[in-house]
Amino acid sequence: MRYILFFFFAFMLVTIYAQPVKPLLHLIKGETYFMSSSGTSVMTQNIHGRENKLTLALSFTMAFKVVNVRDTVYEMEACYQSIYMKIHTKDTSIEMDSAPKAITIEKKKQPDTASLLIAAMVNKPFGIALTVKGKVLWVKNLDKIIADAFNDFRLTDTAKKAQVQNQFKQSFGENAFKGTLEMGIAIFPKTMVAKNNVWSVNSNLSAPARANVKTVYQLTDITATYFQVHGEGTITTDDDAKPGVINGMPAKYNLNGGSMVDIKLDRKTGWINRISIKQLIEGEIDILDNPKMPGGTTIPMMFNTDVNIH
């Protein structure tokens, strides 16, 4: 009899977790939700047969406070709580850390201006609007925070300073933030889904170039506390995008690649529990004809990125 009861209990559990569900964000006004991210991106270039590598390590912690709820939209006040970045090439290594202990270079007892730059972005609130499906409707004030940080950035060459600021904004500004956040959270299906069902989501990236991303997601597991989702996507640069600027020169990206993502979502809130993202993008960058490089040139390039979020 005991085994019969266990059988019916097991059958009941299987039946419950096999029922269709509709994962969405269920956030509460006044509550604060947190996110920690760490990742590494390796950019490989081939210039005139010589391979150059640049490795970027980036980690940060963020807080998102729900300040208002309008129908299916959450208005949030977000801020960086900490930022750490390290850029490494064959000949150079630059380290930036928003932590107070990192602001002074010990040997010279001089301010570390690079760390001061990102420290100026910490604990500065900016606004975002997020739908229950994780779509970012807008990001406000982040570009201003970056501009204010650069106002105190010590670089005597004003043209160079403007160039660095523009590239920093392209990588970390409002448009880039929107695309990065949506890569991890704009993954919800439009309809009810059961375990092993699949659905697709289209999104956009703005860094390293404007690109269209199509990801097919699958609900791989359902428990009492979380949803487990696996996704595989294709990444294609936008052919209609205007040329960007690299080191003061106009450039056109022609890149394609793929991504793989594993996501664990809190079943009650829909908020991120853990995300693992892997991206591989390769192709070429066409430096267009310009005074610095008459006739232009083509540079083969590859980006290999791993990111973990919790």
What average pLDDT score do residues 191-209 get?
87
pLDDT of res. 15: 42
Domain boundaries, the chain: 26-309
pLDDT of res. 126: 97
Q: Structure tokens of 164?
A: 């660095």
The CA-atom distances, in angstroms, between 270 and each of 71, 133, 222, 226 are 17, 9, 13, 8
pLDDT band at residue 276 under the 50/70/90 scheme? very high
pLDDT tens string 111-127: 567 788 888 999 999 99
pLDDT of res. 221: 96
What average pLDDT score do residues 183-197 get?
93
Tokens 């960058």 identify what position? 285
Whether 45 and 51 have beta carbons less than 8 Å apart is answered as yes
Q: Structure tokens of 289?
A: 């004809």
Instruction: Decide if pLDDT at 156 tops 90.
Output: no
pLDDT of res. 12: 40
Cα distance between residue 112 and residue 302, in whole Å: 31
204 compared with 97, residue with greater pLDDT = 97
Q: Structure tokens of 266?
A: 């809190």
Out of 136-150, 195-209, 238-252, 274-288, pick the least confident.
238-252
Instruction: Decide if pLDDT at 179 tops 80.
Output: yes
Out of 2-11, 14-23, 42-51, 61-70, pick the least confident.
2-11
pLDDT of res. 114: 77
Instruction: Decide if pLDDT at 265 tops 80.
Output: yes
Work out whether strand 211-222 and strand 244-246 pair parallel, antiparallel, or are unpaired: unpaired
What average pLDDT score do residues 130-145 get?
96
The mean of the pLDDT values for the chain is 86
What are the residues facing 21 on neighbouring strands? 193
pLDDT band at residue 39 under the 50/70/90 scheme? very high
Q: Structure tokens of 223?
A: 């428990």
Burial (0-12, 13-18, 19+ Cβ within 10 Å), 92: exposed
pLDDT band at residue 10 under the 50/70/90 scheme? very low
pLDDT tens string 82-121: 999 998 888 888 888 888 665 555 555 555 677 888 889 9
Measured at the CA of 20, the angle between CA 19 and CA 23, to 5 degrees, comes to 125
Of 81, 30, 309, 33, residue with least CA distance to 181: 309
pLDDT more than 90, % of the chain: 54
Largest pairwise CA distance in the chain:
87
pLDDT band at residue 32 under the 50/70/90 scheme? very high
Whether 210 and 241 have beta carbons less than 8 Å apart is answered as yes
Q: Which residues of 216-229 are buried (b: 16+ CB within 10 A; e: fewer)?
A: ebbbeebeeebbbb
Q: Tell how far CA 278 is from the center of its chain.
A: 12
The CA-atom distances, in angstroms, between 5 and each of 2, 10, 11 are 5, 9, 10
Cα distance between residue 98 and residue 120, in whole Å: 8
pLDDT tens string 224-252: 999 999 999 999 988 777 887 777 788 88
pLDDT of res. 7: 40
Q: Which CATH number fits domain 26-309: 3.40.50.720, 2.60.40.10, 2.30.230.10, 3.40.50.300?
A: 2.30.230.10
pLDDT of res. 2: 39
Rounded to the nearest 10 degrees, what angle do helices 174-185 and 158-172 cross at?
Answer: 20
Whether 187 and 215 have beta carbons less than 8 Å apart is answered as yes
pLDDT more than 70, % of the chain: 88
Listed in sequence order, the DSSP H helices in the chain are: 2-18, 113-119, 142-151, 158-172, 174-185
